Amino acid sequence: MRKIYFIAAVFLVLIASSCSVQKYLPQGERLYKGATVKVEKNKETTTTAKSLKKTIALAASPKPNKFLLGQPYKVWFYYKIGEPKREKGLRAFLRNRLGEPPVLSSRVNAKATAENMASLMDNLGYFHTTVQGDTVHTGSYFVKALYTAQVQPQYKLGPIKWVGDSSSALQQLLDRNSTRNGLLKTGNPYRLSDITTERDRLDLFLKTRGYYFFNPDYLMAYADSNVGGRKVNLYLNIKTTTPDDAKHPYIINSITVFPNYSLTSLDLDTSKRGVEIFDELRIKDTIKNFKKNLFAQTITYRPGSIYSSRQQNTTLNRFINLGAFKFVKNRFEEVKHTDVNDTSHRMNVYYYLTPAKQKSIQAQIDGFTKENNFLGTQFSVNWRNRNAFKGAEQLAVKTYAGFETTSGDSVKNRNYRLGTEVTLKIPRYAIPFFKIKENNFYPPNTSLLLGYELFKKDIFYLKNLFRFQYEFTWKPNIQTQYTVAPISLSYLKASNITDSFRKQIVASPSLLLSVFSEAILGTSASYTYNSALRRTKNKVYFNTSVEVSGNIAGLITGAKTYRSKNVFGVPFAQYAKFDIDYHFTRRLPSKFDLANRLQIGIGLPYNNSKLLPFTKLYTIGGSSSIRGFRTRTLGPGTYKPTPGDQRFFQIIGGDYKILGNTELRIPFTPQLSGAVFIDAGNVWTKDTLLFGQQGKLTTKFLKEIAVASGFGIRFDATVLLIRADLGIPVRKPYLPDGQRWVLNKIDFGSKMWRRENLVLNIAIGLPF
> d(Cα 728, Cα 424) in Å, to the nearest integer?
45
* Cα torsion through 334, 339, 345, 349, rounded to 10: -30
C-alpha closest to that of 574 among 534, 624, 518, 533: 518
Co-location of 758 and 627 in the same domain: yes
Enumerate the H helices of 46-89 as residue ranges: 49-57, 73-81
Among 221, 247, 273, which residue terminates a domain? 247
In a domain, residue 676? The reply is yes
Co-location of 189 and 309 in the same domain: no
Co-location of 221 and 262 in the same domain: no
CATH of the domain at 763: 2.40.160.50
pLDDT digits (tens, 9 = 90+) for 144-198: 999 999 999 999 999 999 998 888 999 999 999 999 999 999 999 999 999 999 9
Among 118, 151, 184, which residue terminates a domain? 151
Co-location of 241 and 255 in the same domain: no
Contact present, 665 and 673 (Cβ < 8 Å) = yes
Task: Say if residue 141's pLDDT is above 60.
Answer: yes
In a domain, residue 16? The reply is yes
In a domain, residue 133? The reply is yes
pTM: 0.79
Co-location of 236 and 261 in the same domain: no
Co-location of 302 and 183 in the same domain: no
> d(Cα 679, Cα 447) in Å, to the nearest integer?
36
Co-location of 268 and 208 in the same domain: no
In a domain, residue 568? The reply is no
Please tell me whether the peptide bond between 670 and the residue prior to it is cis, using omega within 30 degrees of 0.
Answer: no
Co-location of 138 and 258 in the same domain: no
Handedness of CA 686, 692, 698, 704 (dihedral sign): negative
Co-location of 223 and 259 in the same domain: no
> Strand pairing partners for 547?
524, 577
The pLDDT assigned to 541 comes to: 95
In a domain, residue 466? The reply is no
The pLDDT assigned to 1 comes to: 45
C-alpha closest to that of 603 among 697, 527, 487, 700: 697
pLDDT digits (tens, 9 = 90+) for 498-530: 877 787 777 777 777 778 889 999 999 999 999
The pLDDT assigned to 450 comes to: 97
Co-location of 31 and 144 in the same domain: yes
The pLDDT assigned to 435 comes to: 72
Mean pLDDT of 112-117: 97
Number of Cβ within a 10 Å radius of residue 555: 9
Task: Say if residue 717's pLDDT is above 90.
Answer: no
Task: Say if residue 265's pLDDT is above 60.
Answer: yes
pLDDT digits (tens, 9 = 90+) for 449-470: 999 999 988 778 888 999 999 9
Co-location of 235 and 263 in the same domain: no
In a domain, residue 522? The reply is no
Q: What average pLDDT does the structure give for the chain? A: 89
- Give residue 703's identity as a one-letter amino acid code: K
Co-location of 280 and 238 in the same domain: no
DSSP for 569-637? TEEB--EEEEEEEEEEEEE-GGG-EEEEEEEEEEEEE-TT-SS--GGG-B---STTS-TTS-TTSS-ST
Q: Give per-residue burial for 111-126: e unless 16+ CB within 10 Å, then b.
A: eebbebbbebbbebbb
Could you tell me the residue range of the domain that residue 167 belongs to? 156-247
Task: Say if residue 18's pLDDT is above 60.
Answer: no
In a domain, residue 485? The reply is no
Lowest mean pLDDT among 65-74, 226-235, 474-483, 688-697: 65-74
Q: Could you tell me the CA-to-CA distances from 18 to 5, 24, 259 in Å, in that order?
A: 20, 10, 65
Task: Say if residue 477's pLDDT is above 90.
Answer: no
In a domain, residue 74? The reply is yes
The pLDDT assigned to 500 comes to: 78
CATH of the domain at 197: 3.10.20.310
> d(Cα 698, Cα 703) in Å, to the nearest integer?
10
Number of Cβ within a 10 Å radius of residue 734: 16
Among 247, 270, 301, which residue terminates a domain? 247
Instruction: Tally the domains of the chain.
Output: 4
Q: Beta strands of 292-345 (E only): which ranges?
A: 325-334
